[in-house]
Structure 1
Amino acid sequence: MTITVKGEELVLDKERAVYLQKHSLLAISDLHLGKSAHFRQAGLNVPANIALNDLQRLDVLLKKYNPDTLLINGDMFHHGLNAEIDHFKAWRMERNNLKFLLVKGNHDLLDTAEYKAMNIDIKEPSFCLGPFCFIHDAPKCTEEELYPISGHIHPGVTIIGKAKQSLKFPCFYFGNEYAVLPAFSSFTGLYKIRPKKNERIFAITPDSVVEV
């Protein structure tokens, strides 16, 4: 689905990404690589293929849009180094020509040298492009003339059907003051969004992105 925000076209993809064609930039948020491995280290029975599946989804998006730049809008890594991040390092080396930007989030705690070794350009606390300011936590944005696009809260929306059944989906939120991207990771919960007047919500269903 393509929408216009602040005079620019944004493509909202059902794989929980937004593409800015004018800037050849693909943006996702809350990848949380290493989260499932972190939970397994703590003794919890979490599937081992979550991070691999998320990277495969990301590969599909990169082939679909062929962007010059991939932007992770915070929480790329969930915790410290582990086997899943080692797998990402190999994945990254195979795509070394892709410009890779990370706006640091609250979970991005690796040393600067670790990011540099993976050819990741750190932007802190934000990355501004056109009318937008990409920042992990929107209320912390200080660029008053720009429209913040954030992540962090893993937005979701509940849709109630004709038979009163309800389903919760991840969503894109475009509010009056800022936008929130869905969490890219499939291993996250959802925070229910309650839009105000004139605010827009786009639910991500298994088949498409729909405005609700």
Structure 2
Amino acid sequence: MSLPLEAAGQALWLLPEGGVWWPAQRTLFVADLHLGKGAAFRAQGQAVPAGSSARTLARLEALMRAHQAERLVVLGDFWHGAQGLTPRLLDAVAAFAQRVPTVLVLGNHDRPIHPPGLPLAVQPGHWPLGALTAAHEPPPPGSPGMTLAGHWHPAINLRTRAGDRLRRPCFVLFPHALVLPAFGGLTGALTLEFGALAQARARVAVLGEGAVHWLPDGGGR
């Protein structure tokens, strides 16, 4: 189940897959794919299973089809590193971008990388989209408008009634920004402190099994 959200006068939907759907513009936002991360690790001699990037692209294309989206906006870190840019991955991305109109807002991992010949539209920094702004790094508190961003790979610890702890990826909504969880299948996460988020007047929406849930005040640990 998706969660409706009004931001800067725009109707958005927080998706359980970790993306944001903007129906008025037929646009899907995701952040932090980190394609090629497994290949980069294997190039360094680490035993990381293959196929993560292919699965990420497949999940992303399925999500686009499910919403009949006409545009994909990746909020940075499409790539992980130059060592991961194998010919197989570049061919897969080229085929994907031919089918799915894709805009990449450059992230810190993307900026040193310039793969040639790919049909991706590239935005070097903050990209105004009417009432919204697309970016990689979240803007500082008090910034005007509403920015959709990534970069943090946010997650939060939950505590069950039995006393167990569970870390889950999440959306974080500030008065000035919405930070998306990482969409890639081989990414780490930054565990955020619920107290600091509450002090910043942030709301947290946790990804569950097929649903997104707003976390009530005091619900994280």
Q: Report the counterpart of residue 28 of structure 2 in structure 1.
A: 26
Q: Report the counterpart of residue 209 of structure 2 in structure 1.
A: 206
Report the count of equivalent residues.
208
Instruction: Provide the C-alpha distance between the structure 1 equivalents of 2:40 and 2:100, rounded to a whole number of angstroms.
Output: 27
Deviation at 1:93, TM superposition (A): 2.3
Instruction: Provide the C-alpha distance between the structure 2 equivalents of 1:65 and 1:159, rounded to a whole number of angstroms.
Output: 30
Say if 2:145 and 2:176, in contact at 8 Å, map to a contact too.
no
Residue deviations 1:120-172 (CA, integer Å, cap 9, x gap): 11101121112211111123799x54212111110001111111111111001
Q: Report the counterpart of residue 165 of structure 1 in structure 2.
A: 164
Q: Report the counterpart of residue 110 of structure 1 in structure 2.
A: 113
* C-alpha RMSD over aligned residues: 2.1
Residues 36-185 of structure 1 correspond to what in structure 2 (within 5 A)?
36-80=38-82, 82=84, 84=86, 86-93=88-95, 95-108=97-110, 109-111=112-114, 114=115, 117-139=117-139, 144-185=143-184
Deviation at 1:177, TM superposition (A): 2.8
Q: Secondary structure at the match of 2:198?
A: coil
Structure 2's unaligned 5+ residue stretches are: 216-221
In the superposition, the TM-score normalised over structure 2's length comes to 0.86
Return structure 1 stretches of 4+ with deviation > 4 angstroms: none
1:178–1:95: structure 2 CA closer, same or farther, 3 Å change rule?
closer
Instruction: Provide the C-alpha distance between the structure 1 equivalents of 2:141 and 2:157, rounded to a whole number of angstroms.
Output: 28
Sequence identity percentage: 27
Instruction: Provide the C-alpha distance between the structure 1 equivalents of 2:156 and 2:20, rounded to a whole number of angstroms.
Output: 18
In the superposition, the TM-score normalised over structure 1's length comes to 0.89
Say if 2:43 and 2:83, in contact at 8 Å, map to a contact too.
no
